[in-house]
Every structure is written in structure tokens, then in C-alpha cells.
Amino acid sequence: MSSGTTDRTGTQNYRWDGTDKNGNRLADGEYRIFLEATLRGENRVLYSAPVTLGSGSGSPVEADVSVQYFGSGTAERVMIEGVRVVYRR
């Protein structure tokens, strides 16, 4: 998935099928996904979460999501919240 324009307000869902930018299936193993957004002006947020491809039951797994803020605007931090990462191994 690549960068794009601002999405509309409300709940957003993104899907990644475990392939690289050329559509090739990635090898089983540990990966990290990122969601970065500009909040307003110079204020940004970066969410990241580890995912493990392969060697699983196919049941949904919720990853631990970490968040990092950049910039001085603390009021903007509520613009994007409640980020969850759920995937199947």
C-alpha cells in the first residue's frame, strides 16, 4: 500500500494481502506494518505493529500497536485514534 490523499472522516479499513509492491507473496516470518499521517501542519503520527506471516491457524490475531507523535500540537492527537491491527497468520 502506498501513500495517498487524505481519507474521509470516520472509520477507515485497510487491507494488506501479504505481498510486496510487485504482488509477490512474502516469505513466512516477522514483519512490521506502519500507518503514518499528517494531523495538521507539522504534526504527524506514526502507528506501527508487528505481524507474523505463516505458521498459524488462520485465526485472527490482534497485534500490539505502538504510537509515536511528532510536533508540538497536542490537541491534534485525537484526530486519528483507536488504531487496531488484526491479521491472520
The pLDDT tens digits of the residues spanning 6-32 come to: 666 778 888 888 889 999 999 999 999
One-letter identity of residue 43:
N
Q: Is residue 14 part of a domain?
A: no
Number of domains, the chain:
1
Q: Is residue 54 part of a domain?
A: yes
Report the chain's terminal Cα–Cα distance, integer Å: 19
- For residue 45, count other CB atoms closer than 10 A to its CB: 20
Of the candidates 80, 29, 77, 85, the one whose C-alpha atom is nearest the C-alpha of residue 52 is 29
Partner residues linked to 52 by β-bridges? 30
* Mean pLDDT, residues 30-40 taken together: 90
The pLDDT value given to residue 5? 60
Q: Is residue 60 part of a domain?
A: yes
Beta strands in the chain (DSSP E): 29-40, 43-53, 60-62, 66-70, 86-88
Q: Is residue 8 part of a domain?
A: no
Instruction: Indicate if the pLDDT at residue 4 is higher than 80.
Output: no
The pLDDT value given to residue 40? 82
- Tell me the whole-structure pTM to 2 decimals: 0.76
Instruction: Indicate if the pLDDT at residue 41 is higher than 60.
Output: yes
* Mean pLDDT, residues 36-65 taken together: 87
